[in-house]
Structure 1
Amino acid sequence: MPSRSAAGVDRRTFLRYTSAIGVTTAITTGLTACGGPASNGDGAKGSGGSGAGTIEAGLSYALSTGFDPMITSGATPYAANMHIFEGLVDLDPATLVARPTLATEMPKKINATTYRATLRKGATFHDGSAVTAEDVVFSFERVLDPKNASLMAQFVPFIDTVKAVDTGTVEFKLKSPFALFPSRISVVRIVPKKIVEKDVKGFDAEPVGSGPYKFVSAVREDKIVMTKHDKYNGPHPAKAQKMVWRLMSDPSARVSALKSGRVQAIEDVPYIDVKGITGENKVESVQSFGLLFLMFNCKDERFEDKRVRQALHYALDTEKIIETALLGNAAPATGYVPATHPDYRKASTVYSHDLAKAKKLLAEAGAKDLSFTLMLTDTGWVKDVAPLIKESWAAIGVDATLDIAKSAAQYAKVDKGDFHALAAPGDPSVFGNDVDLLMRWFYYGFWPEKRYGWAGSAAYKKTKSLLDQAAGLTDEAKRKELWGQVTDLVADEAALYPVLHRKLPTGWTTDALTGFKPLPTTGLSFIDVGRA
């Protein structure tokens, strides 16, 4: 299952979202959007100028969802949308720092609960129509409307109203102060009201945005084709005439395509192949938030006592897991976010490999002859980790039966409450990198209330209270202190907690691309990238 889906919205949940608004994904062979300049052929090199040549890339995942940015959760369409759509504010793909795109500057604070944003003059959608304040209001209101079950709504619950002051200015009223407002609105992409209202299903299949690249066609397990948006007048114009994204779930096929020159970049290089990619081809592994987490069903009597959950974490030989299964491409979790994160806080509880402590905790909890089923997703590297988890737990007398299956099937069981424990990948940092967003994803709302049964606990209530308090603070130091309290709390509870944070290996041909950077999230970005 794609990492973005695993980050919190599995395929089953996505189908629930889409059914709520009657959207059916329609990605078919030969699906082509109107317009767009003729390409100069697949694989053609450019002269280094603006809009020259064709970029070809190898992506890891097929199209599991459509492209509507309000609801898409698939890794590949989400990555494509970074090129097709703009927000008022977007995140730099490599640094995850917020920057204005459709807005001329970061939203201006009028008072504690009012912000205004001014649109870029002359901005146009791919059909040639002007981007207006009305389109911005429409884009936010459809996200906020509960009937639409938007994936993005959970990230902007603080917005009360959005209105057009004039054709180029939008005003936001907040329900309460939220200090991270200017960067958080990057989760909402601006869409053309007229096109979406006319045919939402068609829009999901043939997206129309205002970004530097326009959609041409998509074939579910083959490729996505995009071309330069000639009328784009924003800060990040297309530097290639055309892009062809090959959808290659077979990792060996991606590596072969890079080595043969068929593509100029690939994501998700298998760890075992990293050293074998040399010469003009380069691989760089970037530390990400992307984690392997353990999640326990807190309604199961075996895991009601947090000492049992703690014991299972202490028993893990995480260093061995990283060196053996991931060939060193990860860091053990010492806090909720990795040590490279600007707001990193070392947790008061760090789960080192301590078999004696694990056994002591199990004995104190009265957990004798503990046995259960550990579900895992069938992601390649997760399957490699699975036997090492079982081995670690066997060392303290715990018998874990491994159940490895596709992500959708596993989360279907989870959402029915039919599970004991789950080990899976996740990465909500694709939506934003601030600690509030990253914590709310797993510890506020859907996951603790619907998935791992933590909602009735005093710890959960305290977590929600701390996050809400921090959200309204303008004092950065005080906000970080409250986030630190949450970090300590969720580490101690271990209801859902990371084992490790992965490094993501990306491969590319250095003399074929200009300005290319590997990402700290799943996917590839060719914003500000050209053909050499």
Structure 2
Amino acid sequence: MTRYIPRRRGTRFATALAGSIAVAVALSGCGAAATDKNDSGANAGEIDLDAIIEAGISYSLNGSFDPMVASGAVTVSANWHIFEGLVDLDPVTQKPAPALAADLPKKVDDTTYEIDIREGATFQNGDPVTSEDVVFSYERVLDPANNSLFLSFVDFIDTVTAVDEDTVQITTDYPFSLINDRLGVVKIVPKAVVEADAEGFASNPVGSGPYTLVSAVPEDKIVFERYEDYNGPHPALAAGMNWNLLADPSARVTAMSTGTIQAMEDVPYIDVDTLASSAEVESVQSFGLLFMMFNTKAAPFDDPRVRQALHYALDMDKIIETGMLGNATAATSFLPENYENYNKASTVYTYDPEKAKGLLADAGASDLSITLLTTDTGWVKEVAPLIKESLDAVGVKTTLEIGQSAAMYEKVDSGDYTVAVAPGDPSVFGVDPDLLMNWWYGDNVWSNTRTAWADSPEYAELTALLDQAVQREGDEQQQTWNQAFDLLSEQAVLYPLFHRKLPTAWSSQQLVDFKPVPTTGLSFLDVGVAAK
């Protein structure tokens, strides 16, 4: 395969990617993650291989299952079970491990890798997985004409070629230390099936994973069944799964507490303690964050002192304890503290109203009035009045404008705003700092339009740091990322207020080896139902 795009930072995060996924996932989902998977495992005698897993899903089913474009919270997590990459990130540990690959990529030289496909691997229609399918899968993502949402995640790749029927060679534009973390972005699909009916494939996907999709009915359920000929590292331990689409929080809680379902995502914070009396409930620290974003073309928010002042004004302890019932951690850097690549930023925004007032006075913005845009996401609506309260207290007269995410971003994209607060979490697609920072600070709609920061010298400095970091390794790479974290904290153009925790509930009496994930969704890889 020949590379289709020139290597430049400008292609890394296209407008379509930043816009469509941000809406889909931000409404919903970590470097090395907080929770390690339980290695104890149940033996075959403890699991009923004929059982059906019943789950409660909180988000709506929409969009395609085609992994080249799938961005919805539900379809992304469903695809963990339907498809495989060559190397995938474990949904629980967020660590890379061979999936369709027989082993991790073999490094031939600094920019060349060879990968063997798992022997005997087949798609769910019975066709063998070949190197031709692998090359095709990468070609369709890397070809800009296909408008893949994930091209920018793998734009370090130069060529993908078939060495023989079950071996591929990947070359990169430059030494890239994160290759194992990124290969799973591309899920391997059957060339013949996609070419025969791409539209049909989008609604009736065929992968090489442990579960096949039987049916998917919006507002009802998604039905899976075991793929009996799967021979990979995560064989299905249940005969099938029913993912009940329960957007109403009370309906999910009722279904969980009565035993109708065995696991549920997105436990309402107010119901955590009550539900804990009848189920296991764990709040896992995630990358998912609430950020404050400024239009830097609108004075006085072109002045970093004003942006910093609004951060110092926030009583984050009160916001988290009252609005989130403790289910968040105040940001001390771009990454949460449990991440492997975390480094405390040079600027940490503690609650300091006097400093906030002083910064506003120094910037000549003491008599400031703003309309604060926010989304109507449930937990965001809980904290928005508390943010207003803090800003009002330092003399920033604040009017809240709460609306649906699409409507809010329509206003943001038109430039008709000054300050916005919104949720986001790209970690469902990958967890390395480069990917996460480029989500919001790449050459895309966020930097070019939403914050209008792309023509500043500080943005050029950040871009240079990110370009340097991906070509480095070890301490040198980490130190470069640390400089980026510091710059982001000082500029506060789009910066996290807190990283939230994700409460998940499940029945430990019914499910064996279930663990909550630190992103949006549920994973039932290596999970079974206890035999009665």
- For the criterion TM > 0.5, the same-fold answer is yes
2:177 maps to a residue whose letter is A
2:464 aligned with 1:465, yes or no? yes
Q: Which residue in 2 is equivalent to 1:10?
A: 20
Alignment of 1:12-27 (within 5 A): none
1:9 and 1:73 in contact (8 A); partners too: no
Q: Which residue in 1 is equivalent to 2:486?
A: 488
Q: Deviations over 1:367-418 (max 9, x none)?
A: 1321122111111000000100100000111122211111122222222323
CA distance in 2, matches of 1:47, 1:8: 47
Off by >3 Å, runs of 4+ in structure 1: 6-14, 46-51
Query: How far off is 1:8 after superposition?
Result: 4.5
2:331 aligned with 1:333, yes or no? yes
2:163 aligned with 1:165, yes or no? yes
Q: Which residue in 2 is equivalent to 1:202?
A: 200
Query: How far off is 1:13 after superposition?
Result: 7.5
1:280 and 1:511 in contact (8 A); partners too: no
Q: Which residue in 1 is equivalent to 2:434?
A: 436
1:84 and 1:214 in contact (8 A); partners too: yes
CA distance in 2, matches of 1:144, 1:528: 31
Identity of aligned residues (%): 57
Q: Deviations over 1:28-84 (max 9, x none)?
A: xxxxxxxxxxxxxxxxxx974473200010011111212111111110111100000
Q: Secondary structure at the residue paired with 1:505?
A: strand
Q: Which residue in 2 is equivalent to 1:119?
A: 117
CA distance in 2, matches of 1:422, 1:243: 39
Q: Deviations over 1:99-148 (max 9, x none)?
A: 01100111111111111111001111111111111111111111111112
Q: Which residue in 2 is equivalent to 1:456?
A: 455
Q: Secondary structure at the residue paired with 2:300?
A: helix
1:384 maps to a residue whose letter is E
Cα RMSD for the two superposed structures: 1.6
Distance 1:469 1:280, change over 3 A: same
Q: Which residue in 2 is equivalent to 1:61?
A: 59
CA distance in 2, matches of 1:164, 1:413: 47
Query: How far off is 1:325 after superposition?
Result: 0.7
TM-score, length basis structure 2 = 0.91
1:286 maps to a residue whose letter is V
Distance 1:262 1:13, change over 3 A: closer
Distance 1:65 1:530, change over 3 A: same
Q: Which residue in 2 is equivalent to 1:504?
A: 502
CA distance in 1, matches of 2:109, 2:48: 41
CA distance in 2, matches of 1:415, 1:188: 29
Q: Deviations over 1:282-329 (max 9, x none)?
A: 100111111000111112123111111100000011110000011111
Q: Secondary structure at the residue paired with 1:506?
A: strand
Q: Deviations over 1:262-282 (max 9, x none)?
A: 100000101111110134511
Q: Secondary structure at the residue paired with 1:58?
A: strand
2:257 and 2:278 in contact (8 A); partners too: no
2:400 aligned with 1:407, yes or no? no
Q: Deviations over 1:463-499 (max 9, x none)?
A: 111111111113x000000000000000000000000
CA distance in 2, matches of 1:451, 1:147: 25
Q: What are the ranges of 5 or more consecutive residues in structure 2 without an aligned counterpart?
A: 1-15, 25-43
Alignment of 1:127-526 (within 5 A): 127-446=125-444, 447-474=446-473, 476-526=474-524
1:12 and 1:412 in contact (8 A); partners too: no
CA distance in 2, matches of 1:204, 1:160: 27
CA distance in 1, matches of 2:183, 2:313: 41
Q: Deviations over 1:210-269 (max 9, x none)?
A: 100000000111111010000100010000001000111111110000011110000010
Deviates more, 1:67-76 or 1:346-355: 67-76
Q: Secondary structure at the residue paired with 1:303?
A: coil
CA distance in 2, matches of 1:95, 1:463: 29
CA distance in 1, matches of 2:403, 2:286: 25
1:353 maps to a residue whose letter is Y
Q: What are the ranges of 5 or more consecutive residues in structure 1 without an aligned counterpart?
A: 1-5, 15-45
Alignment of 1:43-62 (within 5 A): 48-49=46-47, 51-62=49-60
Q: Secondary structure at the residue paired with 1:96?
A: coil
Query: How far off is 1:7 after superposition?
Result: 10
CA distance in 1, matches of 2:371, 2:157: 42
